[in-house]
Amino acid sequence: MKILIINGPNLNLLGKREKNIYGDRDFESFFEELKNKYPKIDLEYFQSNHEGELVDKIHEVGFSYNGIIFNAGAYTHTSVALADAISGVTTPVIEVHISNVHKREEFRHKSFLSPVCKGIIVGFGLDGYRLALESFVIN
């Protein structure tokens, strides 16, 4: 089973950025732990701060991988292009947010991606990525 985790803008700063919201763990060490927990899954990770690169990556894997776990960061609330990319591929996408976006500013309550994703997981910290992975494993 091939699964790709995609993180969007500013998520390269996890562990350094607004620790009160996103925690103090960097994503790379979390990702290594996740790979060790699920050794049978071919798990990959991609991060970009650029919307077009995120679109390109979804196109690249979106007809062959079994699942995409996607935290689009702030593009969640703005990007028709990413929503169209998700709609345009056959691989199911699970939207993840580390923080509970619904507890935060109003502009974070709107997601252009949720209507075209298989499901959404918000507010469980980094564990949200594991929960999304688990759902691909059991389904």
Residues assigned a catalytic role: 22, 97
Identify which of residues 67 and 73 has a Cβ nearer to ligand DQA in the complex.
73
Binding span for ligand DQA by CB under 6 A among 27-35, 50-58, 80-88, 91-99: 91-99
DSSP string, 90-115: SS-EEEEESS-GGGS-GGGS--SSGG
Specify whether the CB–CB gap between 73 and 7 falls below 8 A: yes
- Nearest approach in angstroms of CB 43 to ligand DQA is 19
Amino acid of residue 79: S
Q: Minimum CB separation from ligand DQA for residue 63, in Å?
A: 25
Show contacts with ligand DQA in window 21-80 (CB under 6 A): 71, 73-74, 76
* Residue showing the smallest CB distance to ligand DQA in the complex: 73
CB of 107 to ligand DQA, least distance (A): 8
Under DSSP, is residue 18 helix (H, G, I), strand (E, B) or coil? Answer: coil
Instruction: Say if residues 28 and 7 touch (Cβ distance below 8 Å).
Output: no
Interface pattern 93-122 for ligand DQA (x via CB under 6 A): ----xxx-x------x--------------
Q: Which two tokens stand for residue 124?
A: 């469980």
Q: Which of 123, 61, 71, 122 is nearest to 92 (CA)?
A: 61
On whether the CB atoms of residues 91 and 67 are closer than 8 A, the answer is yes
Compare residues 35 and 77 and give the one whose CB is closer to ligand DQA: 77
Residues at the contact surface with ligand DQA, assessed by CB under 6 A? 10, 71, 73-74, 76, 97-99, 101, 108
